[in-house]
C-alpha cells in the first residue's frame, strides 16, 4: 500500500528484452520492465500473453539503440514510448494517441507578462522560452 492511501493499488509489470551491442561489438540483452497502473489495465490485458518479439514487432522497434533514439527524439521515457505505441496499435487500432500538450496562447501571454515584471534573469529566460512557443512560424 502507498503511504497515505486507503486502498490497495496493484501495478502490473511486463518485461521486454532488447538486443544491445556494446562498444566492443559484444551482444547483450537489455531488459526493460514496464509498469502498468489501474487505468492501463486494458492495455496490459492485451499484452500479457505476448512475448518480447511480438511486442517489438507491434511497436516496430527491434533494438535498444533504436528505442533510445526514438525516446530522445520524442522526449519521452523508453517505457512511455513503448506504451504509447502499443496503445495505438492494440487499443486504438491505428489511430494516433495524443502525444503532445495543447498550448493556450492567452495563458502564456499572461504568464509572460508576470515574468517580465521581475528583475530576475531566469524569469526573463523563462518568458523568452514561453514566447517562443506561441510565436508564429
Residue pLDDT, tens place only, 80-91: 999 999 988 887
- Total tally of structural domains belonging to the chain: 2
Residue 27: which H helix or E strand, with range? strand 27-36
- 59 and 116 in a common domain: no
- 129 and 79 in a common domain: no
Confidence of residue 4 (pLDDT cuts 50, 70, 90): very low
In a domain, 3, yes or no: no
- 120 and 64 in a common domain: no
Output phi, psi for 70, to 5 deg.
-70, -40
Question: For residues 72-106, b (16+ Cβ closer than 10 Å) or e, as one string?
Answer: eeeeeebbebbbbbbbbbbeeeeeeeeeeeeeeee
In a domain, 100, yes or no: no
- Alpha carbon 81 to its chain's center: 4
pTM exceeds 0.75 for this model: no
Q: Which domain holds residue 85?
A: 12-91
Amino acid at each position: 500500500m502507498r503511504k497515505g492511501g486507503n486502498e490497495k493499488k496493484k501495478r502490473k509489470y511486463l518485461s521486454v528484452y532488447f538486443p544491445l551491442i556494446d562498444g566492443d561489438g559484444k551482444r547483450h540483452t537489455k531488459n526493460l520492465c514496464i509498469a502498468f497502473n489501474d487505468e492501463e489495465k486494458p492495455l496490459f490485458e492485451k499484452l500479457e500473453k505476448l512475448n518480447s518479439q511480438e511486442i517489438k514487432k507491434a511497436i516496430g522497434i527491434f533494438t535498444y539503440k533504436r528505442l533510445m533514439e526514438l525516446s530522445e527524439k520524442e522526449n519521452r521515457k523508453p517505457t512511455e514510448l513503448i506504451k504509447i505505441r502499443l496503445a495505438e496499435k492494440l487499443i486504438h487500432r491505428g489511430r494516433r494517441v495524443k502525444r503532445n500538450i495543447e498550448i493556450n496562447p492567452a495563458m502564456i501571454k499572461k504568464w509572460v507578462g508576470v515574468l517580465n515584471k521581475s528583475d530576475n534573469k531566469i524569469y526573463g529566460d523563462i518568458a523568452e522560452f514561453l514566447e517562443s512557443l506561441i510565436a508564429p512560424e
